[in-house]
Each structure stands twice: as C-alpha cells, then as structure tokens.
Amino acid sequence: MITDKQVVDALRGVMHPEIKRNLVELEMIRDVSVEDERVTLTLALPFAEIPIKDDLVRMVEGAVAKLDATLQVEVNLTEMSQKERAAFMTASEGGPRPAQFANKIANVVAVLSGKGGVGKSSVAALLAVTLHRRGELVGVLDADITGPSIPKMFGLHQPPPMSPTGILPAETPGGIKVMSINLLLPSEDEAVIWRGPLISSAIKQFWNEVFWGDLDYLIVDLPPGTSDASLTVMQSIPLNGVVLVTSPQDLAGMVVRKAARMAQHMGAPILGIVENMSYVTCPKCGEQIEVFGPSQAFRTALNIGSPLLGQLPLDPELARRCDAGEIEEYEAELFEPITGQVVERVSRRKTAPIFP
C-alpha cells in the first residue's frame, strides 16, 4: 500500500524546470492523500496561468506513476495567495538572506496610486509618522526608485551605514527607519536612469538585504502606475494591505481604479482609499473650497468595493514641512483617523510575523 509520505518523497525528485529546486521544497505540493488506488494532491501555482502549468502537472503525474503504474492520480490546481507567492519568489531566488533571518516585521503596508502628483509619498510619510506617534516601531521602504522623495521629507541626507548583517537603514530624528535609493546616490539631485530589471533588483535588495530589525509596520512607498516596481513589490514582498491614494478629479479616480485592479489581481488586500487635495480651507472665512472640483472619492471607493478612509485638504503647512525635512513635526490631526482605520483593518487580517 502506497503511503502519503512515499508520494511526497517521490515528488521531491520533481525539479521545477526554471528554478531548479524541487516542488516540495518550493511548497507547491499540498494536501496529498492516498485512498485505495487513488492519489489526490494539490499543485499550488504562483499564478493561475503560467506557461509551464501543463508540464508541471505531467511531471507530477509521472513521478507518482513510477511508484505504482496502477495508481490513479488526480492533480488539483490552486493559485498561491499574495503572501505565499512572495515566499515562493524568495525561495526561487535562493532563499532568505542573512538580514531576513534577523528581521521581525509584523505588518507591511504599501501605499499606491495610479497617477503621479496626488501626494502618495506624503500620505506614506504621514502614515509612518502617525503610526510612530502611537508607539509603533516603524520603517519606510522607498520603492519609488526613479522619483524618491521620502528622505527629503524626513530631512535625511547621509548614506546609510553598513553592518555584517546587511545594510542598516537611515534613522529619522524621531526614530523611524528609512531606506531609499536617494540615500545611496552621490548627490540627491542625481537621476536614476535605469530600466525595469535594475529597478526591480534594487527593490528586492531593500527588502532582502536591509537589516530592518524589529518593526511593527513597514510602509512601502510605491511609484505611480502599475509597472515593474509595483509588480515586483506585490510579487516579492508579503503585504498585509494596500492603501490607495487619489485626488478629486475623475481622471485620477480612473487611474487609481487601474491600480486597484492590479492589487486585486495580485491578491493584495486593499485597506481603503485616501483622497488627497480634496479641498483648501480659506484662511479668512474658513470655507472649504474644492479647487479641483467635486470629490469623486465615494464613487471610486464604491466602484472598487473598498472603504474611503478619509479626505485630506491642500495644506501649505504640510508642503513647508516636507520641503524643510520636518514632516515629523507636522501636527497631522486630520490624518489620525485614517491611521486608526488602517490599524484596525490590518489587525483583522493579522497573521504571524513574516520572519518569526
């Protein structure tokens, strides 16, 4: 009688044709069951449709058939979750780096917009600042490789230190850890003129080779759009959620809906939408003026099936603080309820730390 263990051991000999590691080691084989003359198992794929899907199924069936040619083999297919896919991508690249073994990151939240110029980076920075004020250990990974602005907002200009464990992130005056390509350039005005593969490689290094240590939250500031950098983050980093940033114009709403579709397609949970630059408050009479037209936030949130976390005004004080590298000194009372909702929605999806 063939046992489950024998089937699993046989499948250890099935090598992924592209990664050159066996399917069991890559955690692609699940739910193995042997009953009478029938073997059933599940083959987990990083994406539902991959070019070698049929080849993998045939290889699995062939390995089991070698145990006993009379066995009936049923291979069910499933798609990995976003976190499982990120772990698969790490394993396919040789496994965790030394820094990853030392890191204990409880939650990773990405901030994404479909369109540039909506204040995505300032929302990411304010989320980090308000979380830190709640007593959380916070880091910011600036994945906007070609347009990094996080270091300037926090007043960081010196290159990060190195250690035997990995690159150490820079630390703001308030104690938030930051890693950005701008900290590694000879001048903060230097342009990063890289193609997609180099950008993706840099993001993976910031995740794999930076010694973040213990963090309650790592905020990932993504570039606008749905191209290589955003795809790399959603494929390679296990996300607890995504915050979408838009502005009142219907054009911005249309483009952020594209970003939402990307997140949904990649299995990254959307925590909600923040509408930035919703209005400006007249300093004389206190009237709220919709300088970019009526808000489209509720319609956009309804369209993608996610909550509206909040609406933020155009605030010259925020712009001044960001330019001066003093965003940690910005009061941010209006942002506090947004942070509270992010914490609440992340906690509903709470999982074990990524690197226990």
**DSSP label of 257:** H
- Residue bearing tokens 């347009």: 147
Are residues 238 and 267 in contact, defined by beta-carbon separation less than 8 angstroms? no
Q: Where in the chain is the domain with CATH 3.30.300.130?
A: 4-80
pLDDT of 183 reads 92
Closest by Cα among 346, 343, 138, 123 to 239: 346
Q: Give the angle 227-232-238 at the CA atoms, nearest 5°.
A: 135
- Here the tokens at position 182 are 């701008």
pLDDT of 162 reads 80
Closest by Cα among 83, 253, 147 to 261: 253
- Residue bearing tokens 């970003």: 259
Q: What is the CATH number of domain 4-80?
A: 3.30.300.130
Type of residue found at 214: D
Burial 230-242 (b: 16+ CB within 10 A, else e): bbbbbbbbbbbbb
Query: How confident is the chain (356 residues) per 10-residue block, as mean pLDDT?
Result: 91 91 93 92 90 93 92 93 86 70 90 87 97 97 92 93 82 96 85 82 88 95 84 89 91 86 90 94 87 87 92 94 96 96 85 39
pLDDT of 225 reads 77
> What CA–CA distances, in Å, run from 330 to 67, 163, 178, 314, 322?
67, 32, 18, 14, 9
Three-state DSSP class for 208? helix
pLDDT of 167 reads 85
Are residues 139 and 219 in contact, defined by beta-carbon separation less than 8 angstroms? yes
> What CA–CA distances, in Å, run from 117 to 269, 273, 276, 330?
24, 16, 10, 20
pLDDT of 83 reads 87
CATH architecture of 90-348: 3-Layer(aba) Sandwich (3.40)
Q: How far apart are CA 319 and CA 326, in angstroms?
A: 10
β-pairing, 29-35 vs 38-45, is antiparallel
- Residue bearing tokens 């933020």: 312
* Helix or strand holding residue 42 (H, E): strand 38-45
Task: Give backbone dihedrals phi and psi of 276, rounded to 5 degrees, phi first.
Answer: -100, 155
Q: Where in the chain is the domain with CATH 3.40.50.300?
A: 90-348
Total count of residues recorded for the chain: 356
Contacts 24+ apart (CB under 8 A), 211-214: 211/99, 211/102, 211/103, 211/163, 211/165, 211/166, 211/167, 211/168, 211/169, 212/99, 212/103, 212/105, 212/139, 212/169, 212/177, 213/102, 213/103, 213/104, 213/177, 214/103, 214/104, 214/137
